[in-house]
Structure 1
């Protein structure tokens, strides 16, 4: 059965008690002390509805001061951790010894309902790559019941505690029972107190990280995702958790302890990787560049290392084993470009000179040499793939007579899923598209470009902070020049305005003088006319005088 992303709704599990199981299961119980609670766990396992001949139990004693015993449960044994300590080491020891087709891990303070194992196992009969999660009810009883009481039934045996895995149940409810949860979120609800795994899948992904003493379930859930697993929470696979777990009693202290270990191993926890320039055990993006010409390959690798995503690791593929120190003509060496690449990157911890191998990074970018991603290119591609929860982006860079030159960004979880399901007569990308989706995008739109003709540049590369400082200084200088020009213009306008005022006053004065002269002339003219009139009158009146 092919499941798209985490949508296990295509599966139809049988009703409890209405089917016939056939797969074997080994229940692994890691324990350190606590024989009294362990006896209750074993008593509950003795009363499971799953066929007893298909079920066996391994109790892993993680260095208890008083050796643990398995009690009267049939097909149960106790083994001890020999080479390490801690819950991860105990679970791994049990998984190594398991003979069942499925490994069901159950903590030693868990008391499962009679249908617990059956509810989980019915899913494993439907698909071979499921991780099934039990449902936990918390109880903190004033006194523990006897194993006989537990064997008789547990449904109403314990008082319900107000404590719950609220955060996990909220994620499950918000995403349709986890069926619509994005790939980067789906494994976050993996709480190993009760969970079952196909034995082959648990071993194929590397099992438990025994170096971890806490947060081992978080880290395992991440790797199971990358291996192609589908996570199925089943509310009918109920179990009591006896006592309040450490995560609820000491959350702040537990988070403080776990954060550095989780940050190093789980790239999905982006909020834990905010320190610029840091490198981590598991990168967010594994970039692969085939070794070509020196300038082409260097330009591509340089662009990848300058990405705005700090946790990018680059693998340069090439026949590195062919580089020997035998006598040669250095400048006409047929392997000169390969030798120059090794000299360029051999001591950069972000670059591996090796064949591409399986990666635990959530994304792998395949990029041909000679094409340079811009600073935001990788982050933009990953963001696009995350937004669509797709399986792969095929990135068109150029079209030649030979075909399309392209890069490619793959989601590791999607590639692993398709690899599990592909049949001999199928194309890989067809299967990948069916289970996650494949999309073509334009490389130029995401910032890809050909390398410059002259590479590497002969000028000293300017650090980003220095480039920004220079840009700001140029802008300030431009503003200062503009301000000076405006001040000069204002001064000129003020001078012109002052001259205008002086001219206005002068012309007013001239106008006034002209007015006065006009009045004077008018008066003189008037007197002249009057004198002439008087003389004329006199001559008429007194002729001859």
Structure 2
């Protein structure tokens, strides 16, 4: 059976069964990371023991992340509940979740915090989506409590069995307003970009196809906080579609740290998020910085030294500094044995290696192995982009929501020479959906869109005949060039002044138009008033004339 194809994040094309009227088949492992919190964990497990999802398809893995005293498994819990200790070598929520993922056997991994009390249909509401498509990330709906006295696990179980779970706690006035606003403004994320949809990825209640989660790389266990934000970004790059499920409700006992200490949490998270999530452009405004995950990964194939150098130099000179370049070549052929240096059969390869070996923004790789950068750009060697080319192409792809921009540079006996800018998420989605033998670009066009353009429009040009340029310093030429630069600077200053003056004139013209319109309205009002008064005066004079004629014709009446 073919997999349904979702365009962008528009999951509305999918049809899920009604709760209680279908037969589930997928197994699910609920992973609960926990550090302390035995009382709330008991309530979480009690609620999981009363789920509408079939018990034989559900198992639970509780990961004790160094609790003191150690956690215990309570009497009211799902039949297939395992309590394991977080493995040595790390700590924190991400470390514990990954331990649970490694131990999970279900088709779906359902992560649930140990201070969550899910409603009876919580698991079923999310799992029905996973039966429809294998690349969905489904998010539960959270209600926060304001109670200080907690019910007993048996009371939780009884409430779920009776369908009264909405009365277990008093509802707090606090909500995930920012997330709910994004969901509401984007028609339940249907109109959201992958970047925007990933922002609402909160790990307190969320489910993933196990294969998709592992394909994305699982949790970043080096993180103590912000692990949900970072994972959400990588899930987008893996081709995921995000679905908020309002009927998968759960109580969150108390308020999370993000609500209680928002400013301190943001201060802590920002440097970690900036390094790993290129979408957060406002965290990467410093020029000259390098980041763990670049915004654009570029690939240049092996060719002559001058061609490769010109292309790589052009990419590194981009106005978008958040770029990393991979030069692909058979570097293993470069040995240190004796050879005639100028007649070396691998001379060009050796020169490219020497040119970029110590540049931290350039990788010398045997094959292009892109990471999780949002965009991937492939440029044929010998073609040089202008400084603003990469940034303009990325902005265009992002604004249009496209998956691929193909730029035709030339045509030769082997076909069209093309530079390709790919959206990583689109390529990953196409790989998930493509039938055997189906071209990936066709699938990308279906689920995101493909656009073709010409190289000249985007500022690509062939490298200069001599590269790198060789120039001897000539004093007279330097003087002329300096004078020319001064003239150019003066002209730019004058142009800026003229632009400012034009803006002022436009503002004054606009005010003049508004004033003229206002006076026209007043003049029209005065004209109508004059007509009215004139007609009133005519009626008065007519009445006087009639009375005078009557008095003459009938005196004494």
TM-score tier, shorter chain, comes to: 0.7 to 0.9
Any idea what the Cα deviations from partners look like across 1:414-441, whole Å, max 9, x if unmatched? 1011011111131221111111111101
For the residue of structure 1 that corresponds to 2:6, the secondary structure is coil
Cα distance in 2 between the residues matched to 1:140 and 1:120: 26
5+ residue gaps in structure 1? 462-466, 480-545
Does 1:31 find its partner at 2:34? yes
* TM-score normalised by the chain length of structure 1: 0.85
Does 1:222 find its partner at 2:233? yes
* TM-score normalised by the chain length of structure 2: 0.83
How far has the Cα of 1:137 moved from its partner? 0.6
How far has the Cα of 1:400 moved from its partner? 3.0
How far has the Cα of 1:470 moved from its partner? 7.2
Does 1:178 find its partner at 2:184? no
Change (3 A) 1:176 1:473: same
How far has the Cα of 1:49 moved from its partner? 0.4
Q: Is the 8 A contact 2:297 2:370 kept in 1?
A: no
Q: CA RMSD in A?
A: 1.7
Cα distance in 1 between the residues matched to 2:128 and 2:289: 44
How far has the Cα of 1:220 moved from its partner? 0.5
Change (3 A) 1:149 1:104: same
The structure having more radius of gyration, on CA atoms, is 1
Match of 2:114 among 83, 108, 114: 108
Match of 1:379 in 2: 391
Q: Is the 8 A contact 2:403 2:445 kept in 1?
A: yes
How far has the Cα of 1:383 moved from its partner? 0.4
Change (3 A) 1:333 1:177: same
Any idea what the Cα deviations from partners look like across 1:354-386, whole Å, max 9, x if unmatched? 021132101000000000011100000000100
Match of 1:329 among 313, 336, 340: 340
Change (3 A) 1:292 1:475: closer
Q: Is the 8 A contact 1:215 1:258 kept in 2?
A: yes
How far has the Cα of 1:477 moved from its partner? 7.9
Change (3 A) 1:403 1:59: same
Match of 2:445 in 1: 433
Match of 1:296 in 2: 307
How far has the Cα of 1:127 moved from its partner? 0.6
How far has the Cα of 1:473 moved from its partner? 2.7
Match of 1:45 in 2: 48
1:207-286 mapped onto 2 (5 Å cutoff): 207-286=218-297
Match of 1:56 among 44, 50, 59: 59
Match of 2:69 among 56, 61, 66: 66
Match of 1:474 among 487, 494, 503: 487
For the residue of structure 2 that corresponds to 1:178, the secondary structure is coil
For the residue of structure 2 that corresponds to 1:316, the secondary structure is strand
Cα distance in 2 between the residues matched to 1:9 and 1:317: 41
Any idea what the Cα deviations from partners look like across 1:142-173, whole Å, max 9, x if unmatched? 21111111112221111111111111111111
Does 1:78 find its partner at 2:90? no
Any idea what the Cα deviations from partners look like across 1:485-508, whole Å, max 9, x if unmatched? xxxxxxxxxxxxxxxxxxxxxxxx
1:308-323 mapped onto 2 (5 Å cutoff): 308-323=319-334
For the residue of structure 1 that corresponds to 2:167, the secondary structure is coil
How far has the Cα of 1:402 moved from its partner? 3.6
Number of residues paired by the alignment? 474
